[in-house]
């Protein structure tokens, strides 16, 4: 089978013709939140309905990293390499310290509980940006059904003071998010309210040095499916999950090509010794493909 679909000829140089889209493990229910730990040569990811974080290494395959996980979804690492997690079950964002203890970054805004933090990214100034849609509390599948208490927005957390600021409040349900390489742009996927026909697209915002956002506009609409998790490479291309695989979108917003995956993709992350491998969480399985690209995320 073909692993790639080239739309812009430039995409041919982003992929390696004989590098397979390889299934690394399967048998999960709904996987999400991949994050690469190069120092431990492992991938962590969430199997959300089964309430666990799993670990994959090239030598030993799958093992359990944390269970129960409080129904974690998205993950990233901060500037010190610590794991940052979005938890549906406890409706909070946490940091796992180097000694294994867990610090709560955010669990409420204006005295009301967060909804179900979904995905997270850390800016170079140390602030933690996360989306808080309602998916994890709409049913009992990926957490605990409950009422929404705050609007579905993107927050910025200051881990030093604990302060939370609302940064994006013009979406139905913000989801994946990523900064451009110079952090002058923030991309956010809006996947729409659950059980609705809301529009689904990636928006982009200008991001000032102090983090203030402006000029939000539609950047790209993924089809088939929608953009959930998104990542940026060192040239500013946006890589997005889609129903038929992973789509590569140029900084100008046009589709350059696709990595074809046989299951619906939820999220992705770059990893490997040169951040040249793309790890893909897709419904019941994880996949990996080696690219002629490098991801931006740290470390
Ligand atoms: Mg997500």
Task: Determine the Cα–Cα distance for residues 239 and 65; give it in Å rounded to an integer.
Answer: 27
Residue 129 CA to ligand 1 center (angstroms) comes to: 13
Average pLDDT over residues 108-126: 97
Residues with CB under 5 A from ligand 1 (ion): 118-119, 175, 228
Query: What does the block give as tokens for 118?
Result: 């979904």
Which pTM was predicted?
A: 0.97
3-state secondary structure of 268: strand
Ligand 1 centroid distance, CA of 267 (Å): 7
Judged against a pLDDT cut of 80, whether residue 257 lies above it is answered with: yes
Count of beta carbons in the 10 Å neighbourhood of residue 228: 24
Question: How many angstroms separate the alpha carbon of residue 229 from the centre of ligand 1?
Answer: 5
Q: Could you tell me the distance, in angstroms and rounded to a whole number, from the CA of residue 139 to the centre of ligand 1?
A: 16
Q: Cis peptide before 272, with omega less than 30 degrees from 0?
A: no
Q: Name the strand (E) or helix (H) holding 163.
A: none
pLDDT above 60: residue 299: no
Q: How far is the CA of 293 from the centre of ligand 1 (A)?
A: 23
| CB 44, CB 278: distance < 8 Å | no
Give the model's pLDDT for residue 199.
93
Centre of ligand 1 from the C-alpha of residue 32, in Å: 7
* pLDDT value for 298: 61
Distance 227 CA to ligand 1 centre (A): 9
Instruction: Give the mean model confidence (pLDDT) for residues 168-180.
Output: 98
Q: How far is the CA of 266 from the centre of ligand 1 (A)?
A: 7
* Contacts of 288 by beta carbon, 8 Å cutoff, 6+ apart: 21, 22, 24, 277, 278, 279, 280
What one-character DSSP code corresponds to residue 135?
H
pLDDT in tens, 25-59: 999 999 999 999 999 999 999 999 999 999 999 99
- 2 pLDDT tier (thresholds 50, 70, 90): confident
Average the pLDDT over 241-266 and give the result.
98
Among residues of the chain, what percentage have pLDDT more than 90? Answer: 97
Task: For residue 101, give the nearest of 66, 49, 144, 64 by alpha carbon.
Answer: 66
Distance from the CA of 252 to the center of ligand 1, in angstroms? 23
Measured in Å, residue 181 CA sits from the centre of ligand 1 at 21
Distance 232 CA to ligand 1 centre (A): 15
Mean of the per-residue pLDDT values of the chain = 96
Ligand 1 center from residue 87 Cα (angstroms): 12
> Distance between CA atoms of 97 and 79, rounded to whole angstroms?
12
The C-alpha angle with vertex 204 and arms to 130 and 228, in degrees rounded to 5, equals 55
């Amino acid at each position: 089978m073909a692993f790639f679909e080239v739309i812009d000829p430039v995409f041919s140089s982003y992929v390696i013709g004989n590098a397979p889209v390889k299934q690394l493990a399967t048998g999960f229910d709904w996987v999400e939140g991949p994050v690469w730990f190069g120092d431990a040569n492992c991938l962590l990811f969430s199997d959300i309905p089964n309430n666990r974080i799993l670990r994959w290494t090239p030598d030993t395959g799958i093992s359990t990293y944390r269970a129960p996980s409080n129904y974690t979804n998205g993950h990233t690492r901060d500037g010190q390499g610590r794991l940052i997690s979005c938890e549906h079950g406890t409706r909070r964002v946490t940091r796992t310290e180097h000694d294994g203890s867990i610090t709560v970054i955010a669990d409420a805004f204006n005295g009301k509980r967060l909804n179900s933090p979904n995905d997270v990214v850390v800016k170079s100034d140390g602030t933690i940006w996360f989306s808080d849609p309602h998916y994890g509390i709409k049913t009992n599948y990926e957490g605990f059904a409950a009422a929404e208490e705050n609007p579905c927005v993107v927050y910025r957390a200051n881990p030093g003071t604990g302060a939370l600021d609302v940064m994006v409040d013009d979406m139905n349900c913000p989801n994946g998010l990523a900064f451009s390489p110079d952090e002058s742009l923030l991309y956010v996927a809006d996947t729409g309210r659950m059980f609705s026909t809301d529009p689904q697209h990636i928006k982009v915002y200008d991001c000032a040095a102090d983090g203030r956002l402006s000029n939000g506009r539609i950047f790209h609409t993924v089809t088939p499916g929608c953009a959930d998790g998104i990542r940026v490479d060192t040239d500013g291309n946006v890589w997005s999950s889609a129903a038929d695989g992973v789509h590569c979108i140029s900084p100008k917003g046009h589709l350059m090509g696709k990595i074809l995956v046989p299951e619906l993709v939820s999220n992705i992350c770059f990893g490997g010794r040169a951040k040249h491998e793309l790890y893909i969480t897709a419904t019941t399985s994880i996949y990996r493909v080696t690219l002629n690209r490098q991801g931006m995320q740290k470390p």
